[in-house]
Structure 1
Amino acid sequence: MEQTAVQEAAARLLLAYSKGEPTAPLIETYPEATITDAYRIQQEQVRTWVGDGDIVKGHKVGLASKAMQQQMGVDQPDYGHLLAGMFHLEHHPIPADKFLQPRIEPEIAFVLGRRLSGPGVTVAEAIRAVDFVVPALEIVDSRITDWKISIVDTIADNASSGGVVLGSKPTQLSEVDLRLVGCTLQLGAEMVATGAGGAVLGSPINALVWLANTIGPLGIDLEPGHVVLPGSMTRAFPVKPGDTVFANMGPLGGVTAVFAP
């Protein structure tokens, strides 16, 4: 794609944010768009947000589990940026009108203590870089009408990022095997899903390695203090105003997201 087309596509997505109205799939307008083009569109939006005063506080890996890839009709992970304005406090009402088509999913969030700079990052280096993990709920959202997304659409749309709620119980990696951490997801009074850490590329650590080695060649490092969401342990579930969502991750503790009426 020409740079002017990249800027046009980014402007369409930014307008969807500001107007609160989704846009038609980008792939329909730009059928020649590649995954590389999609990341250029994503970066164009990130530059706008940072220029407006927001701050990059981490990254997310999307579509890391088979369940999510099947649900979204794609066959590979992607990544997006987490901005400071996306983080919400546990138990504090989250304004539902902040989102267009929100869904929620449980994840094990990494908080980094050291920089990770790919390519060439190993599992050992990734483990060493993690300060602690906490349970998390990611709010995914799409600026594309009816979630009719291709891999190009979701990447361009910042990997369908929406918001993040972090739990408050930190756990050291030496205290838990992330592959074996089970999760139950409760929406209101109903248990809607169960999952395990091993559903995320075999281990959430593998998602962290993939992320570092994918963004490193682009000149992006994972910085100390940043949060990394490695991917969902279950499929995503729609949420609406007034909903309460609770994820129990056993030894990692639980995390609750409350949506304002």
Structure 2
Amino acid sequence: MSDEALVEAFFQARRKGVAGRDLADPELIAAEHGLRKGLDLQLAVLDRFLASGERLGGWKVGHTSGSRRGMMGSDFRPFGYILDGRIMRSGDALPHDRIASCFIEPELCLVLGAPLWGEDVDPVAARGAVRAVVPAFELNEARLPPGAGHPAILADGLSNWGIVVGTEAPVRSNLTDITVELWRDGELVSTRTPGDSMDDPFLSLSRLCALLHRYGRGLEPGQRVITGSFCNETVQGPGSWRAVFSGIGEVAVRFS
């Protein structure tokens, strides 16, 4: 497929929630083009959304925690874009079948208060540009067929559908000692304190700046950046989910 056809196919997959047959080939993007090609295509898809009237709401930093940490390279933390129209507020509801094969992840969300650009942004400078920390859920959608290669996963925006955000909390120096409790329909599902198994969120923000810089892009005030999953669960039907972040706050979403 040509690059133009690939962009259109990934654009439609994101819009419709499922990839067409043209994206079923696990070697769709030739291995020799690698991860850079996947990110090239992802940004081209983002630009397609922006041209259609959508707005960019922020970014996700991927593969920062748990067994997926560094899975595409020891120091490689890929990005995915978040559409502004898919940023929900805590307590919102949506039909459970709105997102195909949905899985939910509690994550910290950093809200930019100042522009942050450049390849040499360090974690201290990154923290200085953050206005607030927010408890959040990432809602992911398994659009691609099983066995899709890493470049295709990158082109698809790392499976992001959108995010749910709670109330802003003040920025604190240590975000690696936070414990999250995940509840489903009033029942405790998981308790996690990632510690050293998760990248420091301000380091993730600095890495995001460096990677975006290669594409002539950066972060702007008001944009939201989610920095890594504490745990993940599959949404199998209607129900209410709540995550409590120690010292930060909580976020909730309901699937009807």
Q: TM-score, normalised by structure 2?
A: 0.89
Post-superposition CA distance 1:55-86 (Å, at most 9, x none): 0011111121123449xx65543111111111
SS of corresponding position for 1:191: strand
Q: Which residue of 1 aligns with 2:36?
A: 36
Q: Which residue of 2 aligns with 1:138?
A: 138
SS of corresponding position for 1:177: coil
What is the deviation of 1:205?
1.3
Kept after mapping to 2: 8 A contact 1:88/1:94: no
Query: Kindly tell me: are residues 67 and 166 of structure 1, through their superposed partners in 2, closer, same or farther at Cα, counting changes over 3 Å?
Result: same
Partner Cα distance (1:68, 1:248) in 2: 23
Correspondence list, 1:148-187, <5 A:
148-168=147-167, 170-174=168-172, 177-187=174-184
Partner Cα distance (1:246, 1:200) in 2: 23
Query: Kindly tell me: are residues 242 and 154 of structure 1, through their superposed partners in 2, closer, same or farther at Cα, counting changes over 3 Å?
Result: same
Partner Cα distance (2:18, 2:176) in 1: 39
Aligned residue pairs, count:
251
Higher mean alpha-carbon deviation, 114-123 vs 91-100, is at 91-100
Post-superposition CA distance 1:173-197 (Å, at most 9, x none): 24x6211111111222432322235
Query: Kindly tell me: are residues 106 and 68 of structure 1, through their superposed partners in 2, closer, same or farther at Cα, counting changes over 3 Å?
Result: farther
Kept after mapping to 2: 8 A contact 1:186/1:193: yes
What is the deviation of 1:231?
1.2
Post-superposition CA distance 1:74-99 (Å, at most 9, x none): 55431111111111122121233332
Matched, 1:207 2:229: no
Percent identity between the two aligned chains: 25
Post-superposition CA distance 1:111-155 (Å, at most 9, x none): 011111120001110111011101000001132024x34321221
What is the deviation of 1:103?
0.5
Correspondence list, 1:111-130, <5 A:
111-130=111-130
| 1:250 corresponds to which of 221, 246, 253 | 246
Q: Which amino acid aligns with 1:204?
A: P
Query: Kindly tell me: are residues 190 and 55 of structure 1, through their superposed partners in 2, closer, same or farther at Cα, counting changes over 3 Å?
Result: same
Higher mean alpha-carbon deviation, 38-47 vs 237-246, is at 237-246
Correspondence list, 1:65-144, <5 A:
65-69=65-69, 74-75=72-73, 76-144=76-144
Higher mean alpha-carbon deviation, 19-28 vs 114-123, is at 19-28
Partner Cα distance (1:151, 1:226) in 2: 26
Query: Kindly tell me: are residues 225 and 18 of structure 1, through their superposed partners in 2, closer, same or farther at Cα, counting changes over 3 Å?
Result: closer
Gaps of 5+ in 2: none
Correspondence list, 1:42-61, <5 A:
42-61=42-61
Partner Cα distance (2:103, 2:163) in 1: 12
Kept after mapping to 1: 8 A contact 2:77/2:207: no
Partner Cα distance (2:13, 2:57) in 1: 23
Partner Cα distance (1:206, 1:51) in 2: 31
Q: CA RMSD in A?
A: 2.1
Query: Kindly tell me: are residues 150 and 86 of structure 1, through their superposed partners in 2, closer, same or farther at Cα, counting changes over 3 Å?
Result: same
